[in-house]
Amino acid sequence: MNIELFSKNALVGAATQGIGAGIALELAKCGANVTVMARNEAKLKNIVSSLPIVGPHQKHRYLVADFSNFEAYRTIISEYFSSHSIDILINNTNGPEPGPALDKKVDDYQKAFDLLFKTVCETTLLALPHMIKQKHGRIINVSSLSVKEPIHNLSLSNSIRSAVIAWAKTLSIEVAQHQVTVNNILTGYFDTERIQNLIRHESQQTGKSQDEIKKARENKIPMKRLGRTEEYGHLAAFLASDYSAYLTGASIPLDGGLNNTY
């Protein structure tokens, strides 16, 4: 199986590091024109310069946008789609702050809703008209295993990501007739900056060492290791390709077998 995405335009959120960067790299390797989106312009420039060019007309760009400020984000993403169209949308954002449900206020949930749900909804609805018109499109949502079973100390993420999955399933049914697919990847433990931040936060709360916490997480995974971002990129590239044309409305665990141990 040789995945080719030549002439396809992709928009990848939170792509300066971690999973987003891994997806952007793999899509570029497959020939897609990749626009990476995040709030740090310097990091975006670095990522764009590192993405491979494997086709004669391939070109990569960046878009500066802050997911945590929804009104500003809405303005930027609307302006982008007024002059651009995409074939592949990777909905991915930075995660909300960790913490237990008893420590969170209603305003915290509203901020998380703006970050995780409203940005995904807004971007997707702007991308869809072109996809529907051309009878082809791929929408891929980066989500979490927490939609299957809530993860301790991630009350905001647990709550809002579940809403995104329900919305995405509903949307997938409505746009299937237009040959547009909507799928979700349920992320397990990957070796990213996000997981390191969560480990540091847990270490501060419990007094355990970061190495001890990391090892405990790895031991829960049947494969006994964290995932690699390039492995995430491989699945995203498949879902973005014509090989996945009949796969929609799915939520696929990518977790080294962890989901099966719940």
What pLDDT, on the 0 to 100 scale, is given for residue 262?
44
As a whole number of angstroms, the distance between CA 157 and CA 142 comes to 12
Average pLDDT, integer, range 70-80? 98
| Pairing mode, strands 180-187 and 137-144 | parallel
Average pLDDT, integer, range 97-120? 96
As a whole number of angstroms, the distance between CA 253 and CA 221 comes to 13
Average pLDDT, integer, range 242-247? 98
As a whole number of angstroms, the distance between CA 201 and CA 190 comes to 16
- CA nearest to 15, candidates 60, 70, 58: 60
**Backbone dihedral region for residue 256 (phi beyond 0: left; psi -120 to 50: alpha; all else: beta):** left
- CA nearest to 197, candidates 66, 111, 69, 98: 98
**What pLDDT digit, counting tens, does each position of 196-216 carry?**
888 998 899 899 999 999 999
With 70 as the cut, is the pLDDT of residue 187 above it?
Answer: yes
Average pLDDT, integer, range 179-195? 94
Q: What is the pLDDT of the chain when averaged over all its residues?
A: 95
- Using CA atoms, how far residue 40 sits from 62, 67, 115, 167, 246, in Å, is 10, 11, 17, 29, 36
Confidence of residue 95 (pLDDT cuts 50, 70, 90): confident
Average pLDDT, integer, range 227-237? 97
As a whole number of angstroms, the distance between CA 134 and CA 80 comes to 19
What pLDDT, on the 0 to 100 scale, is given for residue 76?
98
**What pLDDT digit, counting tens, does each position of 121-174 carry?**
999 999 999 999 999 999 999 999 999 999 888 999 999 999 999 999 999 999
As a whole number of angstroms, the distance between CA 68 and CA 71 comes to 9
What pLDDT, on the 0 to 100 scale, is given for residue 259?
75
Confidence of residue 260 (pLDDT cuts 50, 70, 90): low
The domain covering 9-190+228-261 belongs, at the CATH homologous superfamily level, to NAD(P)-binding Rossmann-like Domain (3.40.50.720)
DSSP string, 111-170: HHHIIIIIHHHHHHHHHHHHHHHHT-EEEEEEEEGGGTSPPTTBHHHHHHHHHHHHHHHH
pTM exceeds cut of 0.75: yes
Confidence of residue 220 (pLDDT cuts 50, 70, 90): very high
